[in-house]
Structure formats: structure tokens, C-alpha cells
Amino acid sequence: MRVLVTGGAGFIGSAVVRHLVIVKGYDVLTVDKLTYAGTLTSIKEVENRPNHRFLKADICDRSAITDAFASFRPDRVMHLAAESHVDRSITGARDFVETNVMGTFNMLECAREFWSRLPPAEKEAFRFLHVSTDEVYGSLGDEGLFTEETPYDPSSPYSASKASSDHLAKAWVRTYGLPVVVSNCSNNYGPYHFPEKLIPLMILNALEAKPLPVYGNGANIRDWLYVEDHARALDLIAERGRIGETYNVGGRNERRNIEVVERICTLMDTLHPTGAPHSRLITHVTDRPGHDARYAIDATKLETELGWKAQEDFDSGISKTVAWYLENRWWWEPLREGYSGGRLGLVEPQK
């Protein structure tokens, strides 16, 4: 099995690459531009494996991606490369439209060109998994869950660009017959999560006794999924998902943001005691514009049709994650030093 993974030097992509290369033994080509969010240190565990190769390329670059298809000849594409940080999309949407919309367009076109020339059996077996987010569905009230039938209603430039890319992916199935499957997942957390995102930011700020900036009153709810559970789900969806279908992925772990931050503080009190509770560092900051109130996923289709189940509950996953950051300074320190941050002189929190 040869799998071309885009965005494999990022947070979720690197978990996918580790899973495919180490657990499954597949041949993997990681294609990544190595933006600020991508680093080869995230896939260090596979660097010497004979079944892994890396190509530094922009998914918008037609000739580089065409060459990658021609030389690697993938059986499967798992497309994760994207600009992913909501706050950055608010201050600069251009990269999001270019990479998430035009980059996905280019991936679909290059895949179509390659797939259309395959012999019948390989053509039949080929799959393109387009990886997306639950943010395309907009915001929930107190009740209800996002299902695969929930209408799209994105709030931010990030989620609007992802929604656009999902529509392109679906259109390439209906118009050209390209065998695409789409997945929409809730918030991920776990090792190798870039230090600007909510959970790593809180762990590292707590470690350095810096303020823990929480948007508004911290009541926004996210449905957290451990990244390795997501990687397994994506492998399963790419292998057995039905062409043209969407699969929602979520861990049934709804938490208010403030609860997440308080849990991290409690864990830090044990793992990194300073004599004073870390919760004293919590600082409420002006809310993000267009901040969605609640995301929560109904993953019934994935669970019943493909037999997937999240293995990590939030309490064990968050404990492992805090411990991982405390033990892996080598990974995050160079990344954290690389930027100046936003409000409060800190990096903005949140997915």
C-alpha cells in the first residue's frame, strides 16, 4: 500500500504518518511545505524507516504535485495540508484561501489526472481522503450534535475555506467520478500539537508561570479527540469509507474551555509543583470575533458502519498530553521561540 500524505509534518498529519509507517507498515510519501506549523521533528520517529519518504512541496504547485503522483504512484491520498489556526485566519485570510481552497483544488486535479490513466483494477481501488473539520457546520446551541446532514454554516475565514474545499472534494466525485471520501472531525489534542493552540499553549504558559489567556468567560464548548484516535479513524475511512460520503469523527468528550484549562492547571500542580496553584494564572481576555459557542459531533455513522471507537477518554488523554510536553522540551522549545505572539504579548489560544 502506497499512501501520499499531505501536511504530514503537521500535528494530525504526523500522527497519521507515524500510524501508517510504524503500525501499518505502509509505504508513505509525506508532502509538506514546512510552513511555520510544519516541522520535520514531528516525524523524527520515521526518518530512518525505509518505507517513508519526504517531499518538501507546496500543494498549490501543480508541477511538483504532478511529479509526486507520477513518481510515487500512490494507491491512496490522505489530504491534510492546510492553514489551520482560526486566529491567524482572522488577521490574514489570504493564505487560508490559497492553501485550503486553491491547494485542495490542485490536489484534486492532479489526483484526477493521475487516476484517470490508471489501469482499471488500480483505478477502482484508488481513494482520495479529504480531511476536514466540524467547524464547517458553524455553531450549536445547548442541545444537539453535528451529523453528516447538518447544513454548512461556517463562521471564520478558516472554516469558510475548509467548507469551500469540502464542496470541491464532493464536486470532484459527482462531476468526474474521482473516488473521494470526506471526514469532518472535532478538536484534536495530543503530542506534537503546535504551541499556539489552546492545550499546548496553556501547558507551556503554566510551565513558565505566564498568564493563561482564556477567551471571554471560557464557556465555549469543544468536543475533544485524542489525535491518535483520529489517525486510526482516518486510516479506516480511507480504507473502507464509501465513495462520496462524509464521516464525522468525534470523541464524545465535550468540555467547556475553562474546564480544560482548569484540568491542565490541576495536572500541572502535581507534575510541576511550584507551591502556588497554577489556576492563579488564568486571565480572561476579550472574546474572539465570531467565536462559535459549541461544537459536538455525532460519530454514529463511523462507529456503526466502520466499527471505529475512540480509545482514549479525555482524562487519560489530557494527562498523557501534559506529561508529553513536560518530557519533550526538545520538540516545542525551538517552535515556541520562533514567534512573538499576539494579545498580552502571548500567542493567542484556541484552535
Residues within the interface to ligand NAD (CB under 6 A)? 6-7, 9-13, 32-35, 37-38, 58-60, 80-84, 99, 103, 131-133, 162, 185, 187-188, 194, 351
| Residue 348 backbone dihedrals phi, psi, to 5 degrees | -65, 145
Q: Which is nearer to ligand NAD, 9 or 214 (CB)?
A: 9
Smallest distance, Å, CB 329 to ligand NAD?
Answer: 19
| Residue 231 backbone dihedrals phi, psi, to 5 degrees | -60, -40
Q: Which is nearer to ligand NAD, 6 or 281 (CB)?
A: 6
Answer whether 62's CB lies under 8 Å from 111's CB.
no
Answer whether 85's CB lies under 8 Å from 10's CB.
no
Q: Which is nearer to ligand NAD, 60 or 108 (CB)?
A: 60
Q: Which is nearer to ligand NAD, 195 or 278 (CB)?
A: 195
Integer Cα distance of 230 and 331 in angstroms: 21
Question: How is the chain split among helix, strand and coil, in percent rounded to 5?
Answer: 45, 15, 35
Integer Cα distance of 266 and 97 in angstroms: 39
48, burial (CB in 10 Å: exposed 0-12, middle 13-18, buried 19+): exposed
Residue with grid cell 509526486, as numbered in its chain: 68
Residue with grid cell 495536572, as numbered in its chain: 267
| Ranges of H-type helices in the chain | 11-18, 62-72, 86-91, 94-96, 104-116, 120-125, 157-176, 198-207, 227-240, 257-271, 300-306, 314-327, 329-337
Smallest distance, Å, CB 297 to ligand NAD?
Answer: 10
- Nearest residue by C-beta to ligand NAD? 10
Residue with grid cell 489526472, as numbered in its chain: 113
Smallest distance, Å, CB 131 to ligand NAD?
Answer: 5
Measure the CA angle with vertex 139, ends 135 and 143; round to 5°. Answer: 125
Smallest distance, Å, CB 139 to ligand NAD?
Answer: 15
Smallest distance, Å, CB 60 to ligand NAD?
Answer: 6
Q: Which is nearer to ligand NAD, 185 or 202 (CB)?
A: 185
Catalytic residues: 134-135, 158
Integer Cα distance of 46 and 43 in angstroms: 6
Can you read off the three cell numbers belonging to residue 232? Answer: 486510526
Which one, of 252, 199, 253, 190, lies nearest residue 227 by Cα?
190
Smallest distance, Å, CB 283 to ligand NAD?
Answer: 23
Q: Which is nearer to ligand NAD, 19 or 278 (CB)?
A: 19
Smallest distance, Å, CB 71 to ligand NAD?
Answer: 17
Q: Which is nearer to ligand NAD, 7 or 179 (CB)?
A: 7
